Amino acid sequence: MMGFAIGATLLVGVALLLLLLPLRHRPASTEFSRKQINTAIYRDELAELESDRAEGSLSAADYEQARAELQRRLLEDSAEETTAQPAAPAPARALSLLLALALPVGAALLYLTLGNPAAIDPPQQQRFSADDIDRMVSGLAAKLEKEPDNLQGWAMLARSYKAMGRLPEALRAYERAGSLVEGNAELLLDYADTMAASIGGFDAKTVALIEQALKLDPANPQGLWLRGTAAYAAKQYGQALTDWETLLKLLPPDSEDAGVLKANIAEVRELQAKGVKR
């Protein structure tokens, strides 16, 4: 287990290094790299796991399961950044960026399927094929049908389905996660992102989920970006400016991401100056 802990720490370091990589494309209108947002999310999740374990509110098995999921997500995010596609027009670009969450399978799902904590600490890193992942996700889904109250399992299944592009199934799994989602800003935002990707935009329910998440965590970077993007799509430029300017304060002033966000803010101000106001 010591090797696993060292590996997870190194992965956090890799994610932090991604913040230094320049963005390859300037968005056509309202695009923004998720590297820094994802890194902040993963760092917070790791800290929360350590805190919950120290307080005794998280069992050893659940701690290892959640940490394994985080490791897989960090690995997948790192791989996805190296194969990023050219920028697309907003808001489609924003939706595609937010859809690129890590595949939360691998060691965590293998653990849930086999019920063996040792499975998350193999001698060598195991690679999973698409068929392997499909089998593990199917196994998890079958397991959860017998454990309907396993809310954490349903949330993990939802994220797995989302990463596989199976959005309707992901939405149903989030609904089954119930109260766990309602009290967790990150899960609410991922649920909202999945819904937005499913319908190709933002409807009233999607925006309500984002608002609920920001009530729990007003300074959540992903939440500010999502709400600003939804406002931009609705031509509510005042709200978009408010959220993006708040998000800008959370970024290093000289970072490339901050530069891109400044350009987007300038574009919105230009639209307002031309009389396109809402």
Output 22 or 208, whichever has higher pLDDT: 208
Q: What is the pTM of this model?
A: 0.54
Where are the chain's structural domains? Answer: 2-273
Report yes or no: 187 and 177 within 8 Å, Cβ to Cβ. yes
In 10 A of CB 69, how many CB atoms? Answer: 28
3-state secondary structure the chain: CHHHHHHHHHHHHHHHHHCCCCCCCCCCCCCCCCHHHHHHHHHHHHHHHHHHHHHCCCCHHHHHHHHHHHHHHHHHHHHHHHCCCCCCCCCHHHHHHHHCCCCCCCHHHHHHHHCCHHHHCCCCCCCCCHHHHHHHHHHHHHHHHCCCCCHHHHHHHHHHHHHCCCHHHHHHHHHHHCHHHHCCHHHHHHHHHHHHHHHCCCCHHHHHHHHHHHHHCCCCHHHHHHHHHHHHHCCCHHHHHHHHHHHHHCCCCCCHHHHHHHHHHHHHHHHHHCCCCC
pLDDT number for residue 261? 87
* pLDDT tens digit sequence for 246-272: 999 998 888 888 898 899 899 999 988
Contact partners, residue 121, CB within 8 Å, separation at least 6: 1, 3, 4
pLDDT number for residue 203? 95
- Terminal Cα distance for the chain, rounded: 55
- Asked if residue 244 has pLDDT above 60, the reply is yes
Question: What confidence category does residue 191 fall into, taking pLDDT thresholds of 50, 70 and 90?
Answer: very high
Tokens 């796991």 belong to residue: 49
Closest CA to 153 of 145, 43, 52: 145
pLDDT number for residue 42? 64
Report yes or no: 41 and 104 within 8 Å, Cβ to Cβ. no
pLDDT number for residue 132? 75
- Asked if residue 190 has pLDDT above 90, the reply is yes
Closest CA to 197 of 176, 217, 171: 171
Integer Cα distance of 21 and 208 in angstroms: 34
* pLDDT, averaged across the chain: 74
* pLDDT tens digit sequence for 86-130: 444 444 444 444 444 444 444 454 445 555 555 455 444 556 677
Closest CA to 267 of 21, 77, 90: 90
* pLDDT tens digit sequence for 138-171: 899 999 999 999 999 999 999 999 999 999 999 9
Would you say domain 2-273 falls under CATH 1.25.40.10?
yes
* pLDDT tens digit sequence for 9-49: 444 444 444 444 443 444 434 344 555 566 666 666 766 76
| Six token digits for residue 61 | 């098995």
